């Protein structure tokens, strides 16, 4: 039996998985904020509670991010401050991919 | 109140377009959802973890494959820098926040679950659906069967 614990509702539900515990937290700490052992335990208990399900199930945890309340606007933000930098990142990414391919580093 | 989950697929599409990529990534989806019920009490179940955090960073990213690694060899810290997560808002210095081995051990001590399996599993975040669906996922499934795993917790960063 598989239980997914994550923080990307759209991607996981698009994929379709048997049991998904959604923690609405920044990507990086799916169990809870760093060093918050009570939250990590809480998430595991929530996940194991889903073992009783008899059909595919999505559970949304009530854990909340304890830091910046505006955290949801940060990830992959695009604005005038980073447009040029993003284009450079893309060029570097494409150069690296071509280099890997030339070296046979591909699956 | 309506849920305000971050639309990661849409944000990611826009983010890569802003980097000059012309073809949008297509996320995996399946027609059917595989589903199994538990055949025995939870407090007798053997549990494992599946992580996207990198245990062996010496292997180049493009050719990383699924690995099944003894829990006795869990690194103190995994490589997470190459993965996509919110590096402005948080950090991954606390391994437990994505690989909760101490919390799982405590739940064994408390009688909530039975035991940990011998091995945990690394699933690489490959661009290729084929690599994940045809090779990595079956390899991990086989390893879980070999280890008599009852419950696998898949915790992608």
For the segment B15-55, what is each residue's pLDDT rounded down to a tens digit? 999 999 999 999 999 999 999 999 999 999 999 999 999 99
Share of chain A above pLDDT 90, in %: 99
Enumerate the residues of chain B whose CB falls inside 8 A of the CB of residue A50.
none
Enumerate the residues of chain A whose CB falls inside 8 A of the CB of residue B152.
1-3
Search chain B and give the residue with CA nearest A42. B103
Q: What is the mean pLDDT of residues B60-66?
A: 96
Q: Please write the tens of the pLDDT for every residue from B106-145.
A: 999 999 999 999 999 999 999 899 999 999 999 999 999 9
Q: What is the mean pLDDT of residues A15-42?
A: 98
Distance CA B22, CA B9 (A): 15
Residue B98 in domain: yes
Share of chain A above pLDDT 70, in %: 100
Q: Check residue B21 and give its pLDDT.
A: 97
- Give phi and psi for B119, each to the nearest 5: -130, 150
Looking at every residue in chain A, the average pLDDT score rounds to 97
Residue B26 in domain: no
Nearest to B5 among A10, A45, A87 (CB): A10
Contact A78 B15 (CB under 8 A): yes
Residue B42 in domain: yes
Residue B19 in domain: no
Task: Tell me which residue range forms the domain holding B142.
Answer: 37-155
pLDDT at B78 > cutoff 70 = yes
Nearest to B103 among A16, A30, A41 (CB): A41
Q: Check residue B2 and give its pLDDT.
A: 56
Q: Check residue B3 and give its pLDDT.
A: 77
Q: What is the mean pLDDT of residues A20-40?
A: 98
Q: Check residue B1 and give its pLDDT.
A: 46
Contact A37 B102 (CB under 8 A): yes
Query: Could you tell me how many CB contacts below 8 A there are between chain A and chain B?
Result: 199
Continuous segment of H or E residues that includes residue B50: strand B46-51
Distance CA B89, CA A74 (A): 8
Residue B21 in domain: no
Q: What is the mean pLDDT of residues B145-150?
A: 98
Any chain A CB within 8 A of the CB of B78? no
pLDDT at B63 > cutoff 80 = yes
Search chain A and give the residue with CA nearest B128. A107
Residue B44 in domain: yes
Instruction: Encode burial over B27-65: b for 16+ CB neighbours within 10 A, e otherwise.
Output: beeeeeeeeeeeeeebeebbbbbbbbbbbeeeeebbebe
Nearest to A107 among B19, B38, B62 (CB): B62
Residue B9 in domain: no
Number of domains, chain B: 1
Residue B76 in domain: yes
Shortest alpha-carbon distance between residue B64 and chain A (Å): 8
């Amino acid at each position: 039996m598989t239980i997914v614990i994550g923080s990307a509702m759209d991607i996981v539900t698009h994929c379709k998985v048997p049991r998904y515990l959604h923690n609405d937290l920044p990507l990086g700490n799916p169990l809870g904020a760093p060093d918050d052992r009570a939250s990590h335990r809480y998430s595991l208990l929530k996940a194991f509670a889903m073992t009783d399900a008899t059909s595919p199930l999505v559970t949304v945890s009530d854990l909340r991010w304890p830091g910046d309340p505006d955290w949801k606007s940060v990830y992959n933000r695009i604005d005038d401050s980073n447009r040029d930098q993003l284009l450079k990142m893309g060029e570097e990414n494409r150069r690296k991919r071509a280099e890997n391919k030339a070296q046979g580093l591909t699956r | 109140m309506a849920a305000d989950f971050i639309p990661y697929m849409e944000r990611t599409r826009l983010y890569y377009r802003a980097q000059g990529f012309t073809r949008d990534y297509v996320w995996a989806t399946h027609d059917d959802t595989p589903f199994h019920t538990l055949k025995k009490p939870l407090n007798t179940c053997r549990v494992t973890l599946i992580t996207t955090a990198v245990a062996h960073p010496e292997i180049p990213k493009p050719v990383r494959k699924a690995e099944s690694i003894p829990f006795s060899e869990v690194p103190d810290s995994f490589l997470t820098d190459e993965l996509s997560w919110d590096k402005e808002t948080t950090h991954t210095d606390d391994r437990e926040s994505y690989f909760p081995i101490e919390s799982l051990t405590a739940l064994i001590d408390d009688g909530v679950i039975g035991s940990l399996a011998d091995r945990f599993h690394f699933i690489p975040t490959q661009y290729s659906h084929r690599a994940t669906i045809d090779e990595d996922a079956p390899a991990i499934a086989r390893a879980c069967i070999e280890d008599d795993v009852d419950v696998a917790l898949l915790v992608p960063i």
